Chain A
Amino acid sequence: MRAAACLAALALTAAVPAWAQEPAHPESIQIGLSTDRVAITANFAGADLTIFGALENADPLINRQGRYDVYVVLEGPARPVVVRRKSRVLGMWINTQSETFVNVPMSYSVATTRQPQDITDPNNYRQLSLGASNIYMEPEDKRDSPLTIQEFTDALRERKQAIGLYSDNVGGVQFLSQSLFRATLHLAPNVPVGTHKARAFLFRNGLFIKETSAQLAIVKSGFEQTIYRFATDHGFGYGLFAIGLAMLTGWLGRIVFRKD
């Protein structure tokens, strides 16, 4: 899923170099996706998504010192999730406690120029609700003790990271020139389908300057999508089809292999 450069933003920067020094025109950031749709095909096994972007009105001095930082996030659609905890009952490990969260981003991949703690301090991340540890996950039952909610929130994040849906790519944003950068984000093999939101945050000397965003639709490709739609919209017909297919396979198997 290599995206080609969106150079429109770059052209803009080139056109206005004279203004760059003026404080009246603060820096800003643009990103472009070569495609607004990523199709998951039969042999999809995860992919790297490349997002190109550009800084506008960048101060060449700061740029040379490498003190512009970019933090890119691709956030998947939010869905409700139940987190369950096992404990020992009669010697067996059984799901006992659970906590439902109403709006959990299904995926959250990050690419940054440097280690997040070197870009800006944790307070800023918190204010921007940026980074997997700063996403607010709203519990369905707010009467539960904050300690329990915290425990399950941490577990949820840890599980998501373990299955690769929440990922960090430190150094995944690289400057190709003074103003042009490329961000590489990991899409897990089980990336959720739906509308994903790509956001890029620009920091100068650890100070948040500007944010920009773009939308990306991740869809199942033709065949997979057809099956999925058929299964969810016409469950009964789909079942009949599955049965017919199984019978056909069984019957064909007999014909192909039995020579007696």
Chain B
Amino acid sequence: MGIYLPIAEMSVNVFVLLAMGAAVGFLSGMFGVGGGFLITPLLIFYNIPPAIAVATGANQVIASSFSGALAHLKRGTLDFKLGTVLLAGGIAGSAAGAFVFALLRAIGQLDLFISLLYVVFLGTVGGLMLIESVNALRLTKGGVPPALKKSGQHNWIHRLPFKMRFRTSKLFVSVIPVLGIGAGIGFLSAIMGVGGGFIMVPALIYLLKVPTNVVVGTSLFQIVVVSAFTTLVHSSTNQTVDIVLALVLMVGGVAGAQYGAKAGQKLRGEQLRALLALLVLAVALRLGFDLFVKPQNLYSLTAVSGLL
């Protein structure tokens, strides 16, 4: 059954989109990620213009992250103060990202830049995660319990000025790296159409030493607001948010996420991380492959947008 996307101005198969949403929802429920980093490349593979895939991806991320953030809010594992400081950076980064997005679109390098960012970030994060989880799997197999991280261990980040106390996270840290992480992820959110959880969670754990139980809730809170801001910026400057596309993906995603969460409970943490790492690497490889292999067609057409 075809469905006409009013903003993308094309007719697509609604079942393909639902399946796509459900598959990504399943994975995001299983691994506890937003799934933006999967949905945007999938939409691009399905010939949705990258500009629309990114903006709609950001919109779709809100749904899954909001439902997750609500759960953490109930459990009290959400650090509002830390989230708000991250947000201050995130909004600035997202605004800058949307500007760069419009600029790249005008000079015709948007697709390239999106692919490059995906390859670099997914490749790095996926690679690191794979190494870490394989090591953990090896250790548990050898009978040695995984080493616990020593608390109170400080790095250079903790010597920066403008310190602030975050009670829920039991943290006393400079606001500079917090704003920086927020801004970086806001920027990526605007250009890649991702929530940024896959970068935010490791950054909060390894760089700021935020306790693991608060990390996910806080990261989800920041993702909801930054994705909402990104959606708003894209809809008012680039008009690339396709609400029909987003809704179909969200419906599939919400349903898929429930089954994914159940499947996830059956697997151990390290196994989950190793699988997620493989998935992330696969997406990175697929996008990288497209960059280096001679395209079937060297020419492409773009409508001239009213911008710039």
Contacts and interface: CB of A to CB of B under 8 A. Distances in A.
Interface of A: 40-46, 79-88, 91-95, 98, 100, 152, 155-156, 158-160, 162, 189-190, 192-193, 220, 224-225, 227-228, 231-232, 235-236, 238-243, 245-247, 249-254, 256-258
B67 A250 contact: yes
Given A193-B9, A253-B255, A155 B303 contact: no
A193 B70 CA distance: 42
A192 B254 contact: no
A82 B304 CA distance: 6
A230 B5 CA distance: 14
A240 B6 contact: no
A91 B243 contact: no
Given A85-B298, A100-B304, A249-B63, A239 B241 contact: yes
A76 B112 CA distance: 30
B241 A231 contact: yes
A162 to B, nearest CB: 7
6 contacts: A44-B2, A93-B293, A93-B294, A152-B299, A241-B243, A251-B67
Given A44-B11, A236-B235, A98 B108 contact: yes
Nearest to B254: A253
A160 to B, nearest CB: 7
B215 interface: no
Contact of B291 (A87, A92, A162, A190): A92
Contacts of A156: 299, 301
Interface string B115-158: 00000000000000000000000000000000000000000000
Contact of B9 (A190, A239, A245): A190
A253 B7 CA distance: 25
A243 B231 contact: yes
Contact of A239 (B234, B251, B258, B299): B234
B299 A44 contact: no
A156 B59 CA distance: 33
- Give the contact-size bracket for chain B: 35 or more
A110 B271 CA distance: 58
Contact of B63 (A42, A158, A235, A253): A253
A84 B300 contact: yes
Nearest to B236: A235
A86 B298 CA distance: 5
Contacts of B241: 231, 238-239, 242
Contacts of B237: 235
Interface in B224-280: 224, 228, 231-237, 239, 241, 243-244, 246-247, 250-251, 254-255, 257-258
A106 to B, nearest CB: 8
A43 to B, nearest CB: 5
Contacts of A256: 254
**Which of A231, A252, A256 is most buried by chain B, counting CB atoms within 10 A of its CB?**
A231
A32 B3 CA distance: 30
Contacts of A239: 231-236, 241
A100 B107 CA distance: 11
Contact of A250 (B7, B63, B109, B293): B63
A190 B11 contact: yes
Given A92-B292, A95-B108, A242 B243 contact: yes
Interface in B6-21: 6-7, 9-11
A88 B295 CA distance: 10
B258 A80 contact: no
A157 B291 CA distance: 25
Given A80-B304, A155-B299, A246-B66, A238 B11 contact: no
A190 B10 contact: yes
Contacts of A231: 6-7, 235, 239, 241, 243
B71 interface: yes
Contacts of B255: 253, 257
Contacts of B224: 247
Contact of A95 (B67, B231, B243, B300): B300
Given A189-B11, A231-B6, A231-B235, A257 B258 contact: yes
Nearest to A236: B236
B1 interface: yes
B40 interface: no
